[in-house]
Amino acid sequence: MRLPGKIALAVLVGAAFFVLRLALVGAASAFPATVDKCVDGDTLILDTGERVRLAGIDTPEKGSGKTPAQYYAREAHRFAARLTQGKRVNVLPLSGASRDRHKRLVAEIILPDGRSLNEELLRKGMGYLYLHRNLPEKLVRRLQAAQRAALDEREGCWKKVLSSREARQPYIGNSKSFRFFSPSCLRQTSVSPKRQRRFDDLEAAFRAGYAPARQCDIWPAAQGDE
């Protein structure tokens, strides 16, 4: 069956983007799959039952039990679901140790049109860069560029997060883990002085590619209908 011109072109473009992403990421075991469910903004369940954690990013937590949801968790979840749920995607696992401590497959997800879901979430301000082991340098550069673009335009969560009172205070980063702490939170942990990096404000820490330390309650909670 001969496909109409526009559909054939879209298929070819998507395939070309997939081949390019595969070359850039270096994933040796990339595979296609259908997304059965979005658990939250950065975790998917495939039709095979495989749970996938998006590489290099973190989105606000939805909360559970007595733990409140974080600001923009619902928006990030809906955004990821709209782009992926019930759709055929290409999964690019990280090379080497490609599973996290929860046994989830850590991967980049390539959408049907060839875009990277990981990049799109950052570009639209749905989450932030989260550096960890085994991230390919080229993927890191793409994610950094996407986040900086979102910061420049105050996309998604950034307009509120960066206008808060907490955004104007200094933060201290750990140059080994690429996590940052508020001064009060830093007193509760141990970071070698030689690894400490000072940021004048919250935006400077995010622009440098650092992410909030999980033990520090830096990200705002959701309020009302958020």
Interval 172-215: pLDDT, tens: 999 999 999 998 888 878 899 999 999 999 999 999 999 999 88
**Closest to 214 in 3D by CA, of 190, 184, 185:** 185
Instruction: Convert the pLDDT of each residue in 2-47 to its tens digit.
Output: 545 554 444 454 545 544 554 444 445 899 999 999 999 999 999 9
- Residue 222 and residue 103: Cα distance in Å, rounded? 28
Output the pLDDT for position 138: 96
Distance separating alpha carbons of residues 169 and 167, to the nearest angstrom: 6
Instruction: Write a three-state SS string for the chain.
Output: CCCCHHHHHHHHHHHHHHHHHHHHHCCCCCEEEEEEEEEECCEEEECCCCEEEECCEECCCCCECCECCECCHHHHHHHHHHHHECCEEEEEECCCCCECCCCCEEEEEECCCCCEHHHHHHHCCCCEECCCCCCCHHHHHHHHHHHHHHHHHCCCCHHHHCCCCHHHCCEEEECCCCEEECHHHHCCCCCCHHHEEEECCHHHHHHCCCEECCCCCCCCECCCCC
> What pLDDT sits at residue 3?
47
CATH class of 162-219: alpha beta
Distance CA 154, CA 152 (A): 6
Give the domain ranges of the chain. Answer: 26-161, 162-219
Q: In the CATH scheme, what is the code of domain 26-161?
A: 2.40.50.90
